[in-house]
Structures are given as C-alpha cells and as structure tokens.
Structure 1
C-alpha cells in the first residue's frame, strides 16, 4: 500500500453487509458505464474550499464548499457532500460478513493487506462475484443518497496493485457496476487515486477525482500525478496533501484549478493535537 493511503479512515462504524441486509440493490453484469445517464448528477464546484473529514465529522471551517465524510456520518448542511465508501476491501472486524467474496492468497487464506491488518481484498475476479459484491456496496450507496449526499468516493480502486490475482480490467469492470448504481441514485462518483486508470475514467462514466498527494506522486507519464488527473478530469479534481512539500507543489501548479487542501495524516478534528488544515490561500 502506498503511503498516500495511510491517511484514510480505518473505521466504518456500520459494516457494509449490515446495511445491505436492509436494502440490497440489484446489479447486472455486462453494463457499459459510458451508457449511464449522468445528466442529473451534480459535480462538485471547481477550485472551491474543500475539507476532508473521513476520520471524523465536524463543523466545516469558513469558506468550505465541498466536504468528504464517511458514509456513517451525516452530510454538512448547505454544502456539496461526498460520501466515502471502502468499496474494494473489507473493513477491520467485518471480514466475516464477506463469506465467499474475499480474495484468497497463495495459502488459501483471505488475502490481507500487509499495511492494514484486518483488511482483506474483495474477490472481484469473476462477473458473479463482482455482482454479489456490488449488491452489498449498492446498499451503502443507497444510504448515502437517502442521507442527502451528492456524490460517492469509493476507495481502494487501486487494490489490484497490491494483491496478486487481481487485475486492472477486473477493477474497471467492478467500477462500472458502482457507476451505474450511483447514477441511478443521482449521485456523482469519484475516482479515488489510481492515476494509471485516469485515461479510462470517461469511458467508465466516472465523473471527477478525489486524489491524495498528487502534487508529489510521480505518474506514469513522467510528471506529477496531478497532471494525469487534469488531463482526464479537467478542473474537476479535489486533492488532499499531507506534507509541506506536496502541498506547495499542488498549490504552485494547480491552486487556480483544483480544490486543494492540506490535512494531517489522521484526518482528525479540531481540538486534536494532530489537527492540520490549510488551503492554498492561507
């Protein structure tokens, strides 16, 4: 797992299967996401005040127009709200809810993320398993919609880079199912990190990007990953930086285009000794 992902929230207060038990949506394999009707989805404003609150929700600072929060939280009133979902791996202590749907390692046991003990890769290797997994995640998407969120942020799109047995094509095929359901619920859907798949975003129906450390992460095209996201999404990119160097690079290169915020690695709330939040304008 790359360092950029060591910042995301580790606790989903309601497990995906627990929500799915109340409302399971049906997904059909074979859907081409580019055919989805996305005319009714609202994209986040560009170059806007942004706060990344996936660790803990709190009153947004003055000037914030876009907030990303965990799906267990309520959206912030009057703002554009993005709903965070761990869509490609299990949450800690919830692996038992995914019986038959966890990727197996070489020893036959569930494939555990080496950097995050207790998280296991979901097995998206077959159409049937992708559909079954999407059915559960769709229930969380339904919850995001019913709460009043505007978009979803499915994390761990890049899980295929960390687990043997998963491929980029399988990740994209599974993502099309999430795109379809999000658009059916009038929710926009973000690509989380995974710059190498940004060129495919439009054909998959993905609407915008939420990135971490794209100012300092070096992309496949010989420059900062921010450049790859800009090529794919234009100004519809929200970037979170955690280091001074990365924050400066993102602000210097994209502050007039992207929504850039610097956060602490724990994405903590005000009052915590670890709390950090800066924008390019302060």
Structure 2
C-alpha cells in the first residue's frame, strides 16, 4: 500500500479547464444524446477494454497531436477524443476541482461536500480539492445525478473508456470515508459507464484490487506504480491491461526493466503539460 497522500498526481495542468466545466455542469449534463459517428465502441452495450501493452499518452494538461507511435491516450472530459485511437476520458469523480468550482458546489450542492464535525470541509490539501461525500447510499445517488451525465458526455463525445479519479480519496477523509464507500460509488460509476458502452479504469489504490470484479473495473490507469512497488499487483489483477505512468526517469527505467514486456509504461512530466510547453516530457516503453 502506498502512503496516505501521494505527493504527485497528474492534474495541476488542467484545473482551470475542469473548474469551468464544473460551473457549466448543467450544460454538460447531456444525458442520453446521440453518439458521435465513427466511435470505435459499440454504444449498444459492448464494452471494449484496451489491449495490453498499448502505447499510451497522458494528456491531462491539455490536448495535443499525439506521437505517431501512440495508440491510446487519456484526456480531460472537456477535450475532444483523438481520431483513430483508444480514448480514455478523465473525470474527477470523488473530489471537486479548486477555485470557482468549489463555490459552485457550495452554492448548488453543499450537502454533497464532506464535512468534519465542526462543519468545515474535508480538503485534499495537496490540490486544494474538497472531498465529495459518498458516505451514504442517498448521497451517492445524488452525486450520480451530477457525475453520471459527465460519463454520458464522454460516451457522446466518442470516448472508449472513462477514468474516474481520486478513488483513493478515503485516505484523505479524516476517517470519515472507507474503502466500502469508495467501492459502492465506484460500482455506480461502472454501471453507468457500461450502460453507455464505455470501459472503466481503476485509478490507483491497491486496496480495492480484491473488489475489482464486484465493482466492474475493466482495466487500470496507475500513477507511479514503480515508485510504490505496485506494478505487479495491477498487472496480475488486470491481465496486463494497465496504463502505468511514471514521473521520474529513475522510476520509469525501473518499470521498463521490470514490466516493459508486459505493461504500457509512460514517462510524463509531473504537470502533464502539452507538447511544445516548457517542461514537457514524454517517453514510452
């Protein structure tokens, strides 16, 4: 198990875009619209997980033309998928975005923000993101009225899969949330994704690997599995259908040397900046 708070998670480069998307949540709640022509996933219900050892790019900091070798990528739900590739749609499903998005949640859904006994918000201090309250079935259902349409939007845009982030938010919840709460909400997310023909990824946390079948996860997107010595756990659990992202060359080399023949391993800069931006790093083995 990794430490309670991973120091780095690849979201800072896309916070402003997602905050704006949250403020337009009503507009994004598209429901059962028509699907985009040309999508490679059968929206009638056939879910297609990615193949093992597929060259992958992590484009959460902003979309850009992928390298010719890239076969799959992940982008924020506010971005368009890349034509001809396997596209994973990023959704921050267990925490809010910082900035104006927090004001939106406070104004429209204050009951769905996790609070301490004194009424203060429980916040992921690394990213200034208040946690969503998934502690009861009723609140999970209300959250699905918000997050569910985001998933629908991923399907409508033509994505093949969805990546709900912060599955491990219970680790930052001051013991107010549990793995059982996370698994219960993740199961609702998986059911919604599958109804829309989307595969769904487990994002980090080995704690929930034993529950992956019950939840309905199809593959994994894992950050720093070499750093936390988790690559083998995810590889075995998902038959190598794992997109592993490392943020240091040392960990990237370790992952490539150990699991390069089995897994899709990507090196990115910590801010997952677009190509052409200062600090941009991309490599794949």
Q: Could you state the TM-score of these two structures normalised by the residue count of structure 2? A: 0.87
Distance 1:154 1:70 in 2: 11
Instruction: Name the structure 1 match of 2:86.
Output: 80
SS of the counterpart of 1:108? coil
Is 2:127 the counterpart of 1:121?
Answer: no
Distance 1:3 1:249 in 2: 19
Instruction: Name the structure 1 match of 2:39.
Output: none
Q: Which runs of 5+ in 1 are unaligned?
A: 27-37, 218-223
Distance 1:20 1:199 in 2: 35
Whether the aligned pair in 1 keeps the contact of 2:10 and 2:272 (CA below 8 Å) is: no
Instruction: Name the structure 2 match of 1:189.
Output: 200
Aligned to 2:215, which of 204, 209, 213?
Answer: 204
Query: 1:16, CA displacement in angstroms?
Result: 3.8
Instruction: Name the structure 2 match of 1:157.
Output: 167
Number of aligned pairs? 263
SS of the counterpart of 1:84? strand
Q: 1:104-153: per-residue Cα shift (whole Å, max 9, x none)?
A: 02421221211122x10000011000010112001100110110000000
Query: 1:99, CA displacement in angstroms?
Result: 2.0
Q: 1:254 to 1:20 in 2, by over 3 A?
A: farther
Query: 1:163, CA displacement in angstroms?
Result: 1.0
Shift >4 Å, 4+ stretches: none
Whether the aligned pair in 2 keeps the contact of 1:66 and 1:79 (CA below 8 Å) is: yes
Is 2:171 the counterpart of 1:167?
Answer: no
For the aligned residues, what is the CA RMSD?
2.0
Distance 2:28 2:204 in 1: 30
Is 2:97 the counterpart of 1:91?
Answer: yes
Q: Could you state the TM-score of these two structures normalised by the residue count of structure 1? A: 0.88
Q: 1:185 to 1:14 in 2, by over 3 A?
A: farther
Is 2:115 the counterpart of 1:109?
Answer: no
Query: 1:10, CA displacement in angstroms?
Result: 2.6
Whether the aligned pair in 2 keeps the contact of 1:239 and 1:261 (CA below 8 Å) is: yes
SS of the counterpart of 1:265? coil
